[in-house]
């Protein structure tokens, strides 16, 4: 089955009502909690969960791995698809911890917009800065949400000034808090001056009660907090802190909203802002720099491969972002990397770890393809009109371990598990003739990735492993001519990256690299993309 003749006007109309976005933040800023609150307000779930399942609340939908639930951190990205007010939202939840920034980078290759989440007490933090750099590099418009206003924090004007001074984004508040951080009374909408007061639902697991209060009554009841808020609003008007949509689209201006995700204060206003302001899917440039129109025949890019989501089936799911055209379940697609046809009769839509059959999809949507053989992160799938989208680059690893199976009788399961984790991008797998297939080198951006490997190799593949650290911290890409010379240098090893066959030279430190570059300038030593700092 093929797509037939999908009406381009229908494709454009469906694309226009979609918003595909991610939430970026520093760990512990409340990203998973906000993700859950957005789904709650869109009625996609009946009750919001909490990280660790605190206070009797269930765990968050987007954190489905056992390790995520026990550690209270997002380890792997997930997809939440839901509808709100006629807009179809594809929310790609991302890991917040710096050790998993490579997974976040892959997800940001699949979105059209982002919510930058700030802790009201901490403001811009290290991982937020790195992830914003990725957004700026990819020209992704950013909406800012200042979270945890129900807890003690900094002055709102101070936070706005930090955003402008540190990352060059001109903030344009769309609402303003009444009451200092830790004494949150409600929000004033700048557009019409309306005031909304919030009342916490028991446990915060359901929607907060929003009470709309007239300005004269609010002034009488809120007292000094109202006076301070109106004075600050007047100052914002004086300095011209208003939203410029062209600047927002260009990534130089950010709409700002305030709230508290855990008790669900201000979340609905954020959801409405995403629907109203976040960009719909648009044309995507192929590897030659030519835009693929949204209304062109189907094309999509794999941005994630994940196994272990369904314990009953133990299958492998490829996540494909639809870039153009209409997808129909059962159509035959072409895998651009190999030219081979690929069936789609088992296509699925994903909500956390839950799946259901997906019959049609449009630009901005995410398709799950079970057991898509030979497909890896960055690959392009298309129908009729050939296209290849630019690859999603791998980060430069900084930590290296040699893996060995504990029980030689589980060698087959060991090889299958290592290959699977490599295809998913959990770690980069490097091999050499000297070490052999039984001792692959695992390369990672952060050490927590190795904990994921250890846990999954035992739990999913029944092949417990031991990992031994190697004294390398720096990697460079090289070529076949340079490899023998580099291999002969003290403290240097050249390995082959299994996923793409690239030759990777590893060094004990950057000074060793510089010394070799100085002494042997003809060798090929190409820097790899540094984590969170796109070139």
Token pair belonging to 133: 């750099």
pLDDT attached to residue 218 = 94
Is 96 in contact with 365 (CB distance < 8 Å)? no
pLDDT tens, 97-114? 565 667 777 888 899 999
User: Residue ranges of the chain with pLDDT lower than 70?
Assistant: 1-6, 44-78, 95-101, 202-205, 308-314, 352-353, 530-535
pLDDT attached to residue 352 = 65
pLDDT attached to residue 311 = 59
DSSP string, 461-472: TS--EEEEE-S-
Count Cβ atoms below 10 Å from residue 234 Cβ, excluding itself: 9
pLDDT attached to residue 4 = 47
pLDDT attached to residue 267 = 95
**∠ CA(336), CA(340), CA(345), 5° rounding?**
100
Closest CA relative to residue 493, chosen from 511, 514, 508: 508
Measured torsion, CA atoms of residues 287, 288, 289, 295, in degrees rounded to the nearest 10? -80
Residue 269 DSSP code:
H
pLDDT tens, 325-335? 999 999 999 99
Is the alpha carbon torsion for 373, 377, 382, 385 positive or negative? negative
**Measured CA distances, 199 to 63, 206, 228, 260, 377 (Å):** 27, 11, 21, 12, 45
DSSP string, 229-252: HHHHHHHHHHTT----HHHHHHTS
pLDDT attached to residue 532 = 46
């Amino acid at each position: 089955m093929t797509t037939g003749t999908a009406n381009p006007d229908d494709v454009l109309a469906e694309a226009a009502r979609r918003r595909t976005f991610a939430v970026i933040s520093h760990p512990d800023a409340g990203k998973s909690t906000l993700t859950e609150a957005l789904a709650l307000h869109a009625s996609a779930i009946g009750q919001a969960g909490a990280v660790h399942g605190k206070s009797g609340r269930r765990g968050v939908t987007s954190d489905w791995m056992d390790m995520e639930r026990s550690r209270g951190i997002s380890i792997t990205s997930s997809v939440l698809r839901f509808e709100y007010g006629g807009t179809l939202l594809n929310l790609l939840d991302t890991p917040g911890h710096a050790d998993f920034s490579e997974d976040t980078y892959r997800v940001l290759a699949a979105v059209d917009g982002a919510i930058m989440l700030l802790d009201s007490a901490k403001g811009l933090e290290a991982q937020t800065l790195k992830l914003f750099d990725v957004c700026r590099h990819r020209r992704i418009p950013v909406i800012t949400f200042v979270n945890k206003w129900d807890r003690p924090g900094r002055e709102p004007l101070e936070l706005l000034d930090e955003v402008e001074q540190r990352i060059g984004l001109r903030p344009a508040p769309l609402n303003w808090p009444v009451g200092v951080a830790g004494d949150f009374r409600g929000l004033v909408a700048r557009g019409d001056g309306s005031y909304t007061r919030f009342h916490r639902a028991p446990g915060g697991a359901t929607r907060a009660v929003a009470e709309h209060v007239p300005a004269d009554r609010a002034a009488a009841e809120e007292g000094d907090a109202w006076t301070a808020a109106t004075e600050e609003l007047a100052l914002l008007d004086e300095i011209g802190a208003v939203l410029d949509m062209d600047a927002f689209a260009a990534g130089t201006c950010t709409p700002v909203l305030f709230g508290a995700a855990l008790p669900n204060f201000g979340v609905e206003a954020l959801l409405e802002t995403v629907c109203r302001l976040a960009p719909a899917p648009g044309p995507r440039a192929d590897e030659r720099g030519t835009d693929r129109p949204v209304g062109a025949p189907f094309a999509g890019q794999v941005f994630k491969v994940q196994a272990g989501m369904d314990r009953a089936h133990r299958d492998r799911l490829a996540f494909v972002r639809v870039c153009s055209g209409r997808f129909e379940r059962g159509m035959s697609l072409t895998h651009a990397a190999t030219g081979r046809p690929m069936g789609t009769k088992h296509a699925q839509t994903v909500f956390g770890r839950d799946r259901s059959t997906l019959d049609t999809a449009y630009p901005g949507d995410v398709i799950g393809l079970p057991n898509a053989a030979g497909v890896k992160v960055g690959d392009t799938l298309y129908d009729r009109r050939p296209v290849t989208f630019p690859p999603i680059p791998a980060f430069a690893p900084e930590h290296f371990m040699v893996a060995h199976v504990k029980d030689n009788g589980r060698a087959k399961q060991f090889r299958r598990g290592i290959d699977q984790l490599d295809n998913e991008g959990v770690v980069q797998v490097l091999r050499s003739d000297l070490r052999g297939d039984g001792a692959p080198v695992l390369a990672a951006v952060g050490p927590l990735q190795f904990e994921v490997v250890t846990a999954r190799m035992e739990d999913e593949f029944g092949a417990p492993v031991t990992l031994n650290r190697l004294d390398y911290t720096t990697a460079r890409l090289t070529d076949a001519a340079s490899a023998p010379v580099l291999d002969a240098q003290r403290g240097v090893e050249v390995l082959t990256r299994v996923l793409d066959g690239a030759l990777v030279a590893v060094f004990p430190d950057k000074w060793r690299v510089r010394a070799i570059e100085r002494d042997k300038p003809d060798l090929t030593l190409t820097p790899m993309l540094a984590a969170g700092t796109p070139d």
